[in-house]
Amino acid sequence: MKYVKAIIFGCLAALAAAQMTKESILLAMEDSSKTMAKLDSKFTLIVQGGAVNVILGNREETGDMDFLATNYKPMDPSAYGEVLDKLKRGWLWAYTQAKKRQQPIPSNWVDTSISIFFNRKEALFKKFTSEAEAQATILSTAGMDKDGTGIKFIAAPWDWQFVSKMVQHEKDYDLDDATFYLQQWLKKVETSSISYDRIAQWFSAWSFTVPSDLAALCKEINRKGGAQLITGNF
């Protein structure tokens, strides 16, 4: 009996610790999108964080997918519950399919907490969605029907993702992620560097307080990037 319990607890621990690779997260996205297409529903989800890194080849794995749907209503956040309830059917189906493929993903593989930041911030939300759509970094459209139903996954604005990681920087890889996002932004605007003063402006533009240790963080970004990505006297 003890042996059986050990096996059960071992399996549960493995599932709890499951991480998503590029293959598993793209399959999960596709399964979720197919489910929404069958329900004749259409969504565009703006994804940020580890899932973006993994899909674009900057990181091997991630524990979840942070996203915000473009039809979120910042002035009526309670209405977002209906959107999440519909999407939940896709998330659960993807989780079930992953287990069948013996490529388990976390049972709570999506994170919707980003919506809290935009609560009652309509102008900021419009900035977020419009910049993400203009940036047009498509992560996946697999599983969508020809009529456009299903889910299109796009990356959040690079400057937003950079600022978010710089404010957070709690985990060892946060500044690595921030460096990657800055490199993507520089690539998008076709330049090799950005001024320290403009970096500081990004924080206020996204309603964040400029970190007191921003200068030290920028120096670390340059070190990790192996180049003077951020220029100026700091």
**Residue that terminates a domain, selected from 156, 183, 201:** 156
Question: Are 100 and 184 in a shared domain?
Answer: no
pLDDT(229) > 60: yes
Q: In Å, what is the CA distance from 227 to each residue of 20, 66, 130, 158?
A: 30, 29, 30, 19
Which tens digits make up the pLDDT trace of 199-217?
A: 999 999 999 999 999 999 9
Answer yes or no: are the C-beta atoms of 65 and 151 closer than 8 Å.
Answer: no
Cite the DSSP H helix spans in 189-230: 196-205, 214-225
pLDDT for residue 38:
98
- Are residues 13 and 120 part of one domain? yes
Average pLDDT of the segment spanning 216-221: 98
Residue at token pair 């489910």:
35
Alpha-carbon gap, residue 13 to 16, rounded angstroms = 5
Note whether 66 and 150 are same-domain residues. yes
Helices and strands of the chain, counted as H and E runs: 9, 7
Position 7 scores a pLDDT of 36
Question: Is it the case that residue 36 has pLDDT exceeding 50?
Answer: yes
Domain co-membership, 173 together with 121: no
The reply to whether 134 and 166 lie within a common domain is no
Is residue 12 scored above 50 in pLDDT? no
68 and 180 share one domain? no
pLDDT in tens, 53-102: 999 999 999 999 999 999 999 999 999 999 999 999 999 999 999 999 99
pTM, to two decimals: 0.91
- Residues 109-166 have pLDDT tens digits of 999 999 999 999 999 999 999 999 999 999 999 999 999 999 999 999 999 999 999 9
pLDDT of residue 17: 57
Q: Is residue 150 domain-shared with residue 214, that is, in the same domain?
A: no
Beta carbons within 8 Å of 62's beta carbon, 6+ residues apart: 19, 20, 25, 49, 50, 51, 53, 54
Among 201, 47, 51, which residue's Cα sits nearest to residue 133?
Answer: 47
pLDDT at 196: 98
Q: Which residues contact 93 (CB under 8 A, 6 or more apart)?
A: 31, 32, 34, 35
* Terminal Cα-to-Cα distance of the chain (whole angstroms): 63
Across the chain, mean pLDDT equals 93
Mean pLDDT of 38-63: 97
> Of 156, 174, 203, which residue is a domain's last?
156
pLDDT digits (tens, 9 = 90+) for 163-186: 999 998 888 899 999 999 999 999
Task: Single out the residue in 138, 156, 174 at which a domain terminates.
Answer: 156
- The mean per-residue pLDDT over the stretch 43-57 comes to 98
Q: Let me know whether 138 and 205 are in one domain.
A: no
**Residues 104 and 26 occupy one common structural domain:** yes
DSSP 122-178: HHHHHHHHHHHHHHT-EEE-TT--TTS-EEEEEEPPHHHHHHHHHHH--STTHHHHH
Q: Are residues 122 and 40 in the same domain?
A: yes
Domain shared by 7 and 79, yes or no: yes
Q: Which domain holds residue 31?
A: 1-156
Using DSSP's 3-state secondary structure scheme, residue 80 falls into helix
The total number of structural domains that make up the chain: 2
pLDDT class of 18 with cuts at 50, 70, 90: confident
**pLDDT, mean of residues 28-57:** 98
Distance CA(175)–CA(169), nearest Å, equals 6
**Same domain membership, residue 86 and residue 34:** yes
Using pLDDT thresholds of 50, 70 and 90, give the confidence band for residue 11.
very low
How far apart CA 219 and CA 234 sit, in angstroms, is 8
Q: Would you state the pLDDT for residue 15?
A: 44
